[in-house]
A = this chain, B = another copy of it.
């Protein structure tokens, strides 16, 4: 493979992520901010010329600050506004803090427990991603550095209303978070009306993988709805998520009163986008319904 970080023509520094099944996406880099080797991964943070800061784990793009709202608002507000009264939430992963930042906007929230395996991600976010790391010290937040799979396995049955899996992709070390045993634990840990939301893959370049995971969830949850968000930093620019539900349907209409304050502050989410996110292009719909 070509190196991710290199000197281009005219001496410009460039970072490129090559998707194994698709294109490369490149950013012009102003400077490297930090490089940390942890027991779990290599973390790099760059200042880009046009897209704010770029967070990379093991060469894979996690986020840019220019477009991360499209990721964090969708993984949080879609399930939170679908659930009638979400009080207890578990976040697996999410060390950059963006998911917590969006969670604490919801007044029904009583507890957001986040289990992130790599404390160094949290440290880097606190130090260098001020726009994301806003809620680690919020009184409703319980931040645990530990194993998310184990945390879900050991949770009291029915103890969470919403579980969010905000991890790396289902190709590397995060693979167990996309497997049946984990999904069975999630189902058990969720209360009645409980919901799981998870980031999965590109609906274009990784459609086969996306369909496999949606089908796996359909074997366990009575209602599974794939949805997407427009995230320019990720391959294809449209990223697939899954919402797996014990009951509530995200397409059954939203409560205006709960939506309005979220919509007022949001950079990406609004009620039209919420509904539109569940419309999939024909090629993806055919595979998902096959």
Contacts and interface: CB of A to CB of B under 8 A. Distances in A.
Interface of A: 1-3, 8-10, 12, 14, 16, 18, 21-28, 50-51, 67, 69-70, 204-205, 228, 230-233, 235-238, 263, 266-270, 272-273, 275-283, 285
A202 to B, nearest CB: 8
Nearest to A229: B281
Contacts of A1: 9-10
Copy count, this protein chain: 2
Complex A-B, nearest 9 residue pairs according to Cβ-Cβ distance, in ascending order:
A237-B237, A276-B276, A276-B279, A24-B26, A272-B279, A232-B236, A2-B9, A268-B281, A230-B238
Contacts of A69: 283
13 contacts: A1-B9, A2-B10, A16-B26, A22-B50, A23-B233, A24-B24, A24-B26, A24-B27, A232-B237, A238-B238, A267-B283, A270-B279, A273-B282
A51 B22 contact: yes
User: What does DSSP make chain A's interface, helix, strand, loop or mixed?
Assistant: loop
A261 B239 CA distance: 28
Nearest to A25: B23
Nearest to A269: B282
Contact of A70 (B16, B235, B277, B281): B281
